[in-house]
Amino acid sequence: MQKLIMIKYGELSTKKDNIGFFLSTLKKNVEYALKNIDYEIKYDKNRMFIKSSNLDNVIEKLKKVFGIHEISVCYQLDNRNLDSISKDLIKIIENVEFKTFKVAVKRSDKTYPLDSMELAKKLGGVVLKNKDNISVDVHNPELLINVEIRTDQVYIYIDNIQGIGGYPVGVLGKGLLMLSGGIDSPVAGYLAIKRGIKLECVYFESPPHTSIEAKNKVLELSKKLAVYNNGMKVHIINFTKIQESIYRNIPHDYLITIMRRMMYRISAILSHNNRGHVIVNGESVGQVASQTLTSMEVINEVVKMPVIRPVACFDKLEIIDIARRIGTYETSILPYEDCCTIFVPAHPVINPVLSKCYEYEKLIPYEELIHDAIKNQEVVKVGEDNKEFDELL
Ligand code: ATP
Ligand code: MG
pLDDT digits (tens, 9 = 90+) for 150-166: 998 999 999 889 999 99
CA of 307 to the centre of ligand 1 (A): 14
Of 165, 190, 209, which residue constitutes the final position of a domain? 165
- Assign 339 a pLDDT band (cuts: 50, 70, 90): low
Q: With a 6 A CB cut-off, is 185 part of the ligand 1 pocket?
A: yes
Nearest CA to ligand 1 atom 22: 180
Residues 6+ apart with CB under 8 A from 104: 120, 144, 145, 146, 147
Write down the pLDDT at residue 393: 35
The answer to whether residue 391 scores a pLDDT higher than 70 is no
Residues 334 and 254 both lie in one domain: yes
Residues 21 and 149 both lie in one domain: yes
Q: Which ligand minimizes its atom distance to the CA of 206? A: 1
Q: With a 6 A CB cut-off, is 288 part of the ligand 1 pocket?
A: yes
Write down the pLDDT at residue 10: 74
Q: Which ligand minimizes its atom distance to the CA of 299? A: 1
Q: With a 6 A CB cut-off, is 182 part of the ligand 1 pocket?
A: yes
How many domains are contained in the chain? 2
Residues 145 and 178 both lie in one domain: no
pLDDT digits (tens, 9 = 90+) for 255-300: 999 999 999 999 999 999 999 999 999 999 988 777 899 999 999 9
Return the DSSP state at 241.
H
pLDDT digits (tens, 9 = 90+) for 316-325: 999 999 999 9
Q: Which ligand minimizes its atom distance to the CA of 186? A: 1
Distance CA 64, CA 58 (A): 11
Q: Give the E-state strand segments of 66-222 in sequence order.
A: 68-77, 100-107, 135-136, 143-149, 154-157, 161-165, 174-178, 198-205
Distance CA 103, CA 317 (A): 42
The answer to whether residue 234 scores a pLDDT higher than 90 is yes
pLDDT digits (tens, 9 = 90+) for 98-153: 999 999 999 988 899 999 999 999 999 999 999 999 999 999 999 999 999 999 89
Residues 152 and 235 both lie in one domain: no
Nearest CA to ligand 1 atom 13: 283
Residues 11 and 121 both lie in one domain: yes
CA of 182 to the centre of ligand 2 (A): 5
Residues 199 and 141 both lie in one domain: no
Distance CA 358, CA 135 (A): 76
Write down the pLDDT at residue 289: 76
Domain hosting 292: range is 174-392
pLDDT digits (tens, 9 = 90+) for 6-33: 999 977 656 667 889 999 999 999 999 9
Mean pLDDT, rounded, for 162-179: 95
Residues 210 and 296 both lie in one domain: yes
Write down the pLDDT at residue 360: 98
pLDDT digits (tens, 9 = 90+) for 61-112: 999 999 999 999 999 998 999 999 999 999 999 999 999 999 999 998 889 9
CATH of the domain at 191: 3.40.50.620
Closest CA to 382 of 194, 209, 179: 179
- Assign 390 a pLDDT band (cuts: 50, 70, 90): very low
Residues 233 and 113 both lie in one domain: no
Write down the pLDDT at residue 387: 45
The answer to whether residue 340 scores a pLDDT higher than 70 is no
Of 134, 165, 196, which residue constitutes the final position of a domain? 165
CA of 264 to the centre of ligand 1 (A): 11
Write down the pLDDT at residue 335: 86
CATH of the domain at 68: 3.30.2130.30
Residues 124 and 210 both lie in one domain: no
Atom of ligand 1 nearest to the CA of 181: 4
Residues 228 and 293 both lie in one domain: yes
Of 119, 138, 165, which residue constitutes the final position of a domain? 165
Give me the chain's average pLDDT, please. 92
Distinct helix (H) and strand (E) counts, the chain:
15, 15
Q: Which ligand minimizes its atom distance to the CA of 184? A: 1
CA of 327 to the centre of ligand 1 (A): 18
Q: Are 373 and 239 in contact (CB under 8 A)?
A: yes
Q: To test the ligand 1 pocket, which listed residue (176, 177, 178) has its Cβ within 8 A of the most ligand atoms?
A: 178
Residues 262 and 202 both lie in one domain: yes
pTM of the model: 0.91
Residues 279 and 319 both lie in one domain: yes
Nearest CA to ligand 1 atom 24: 180
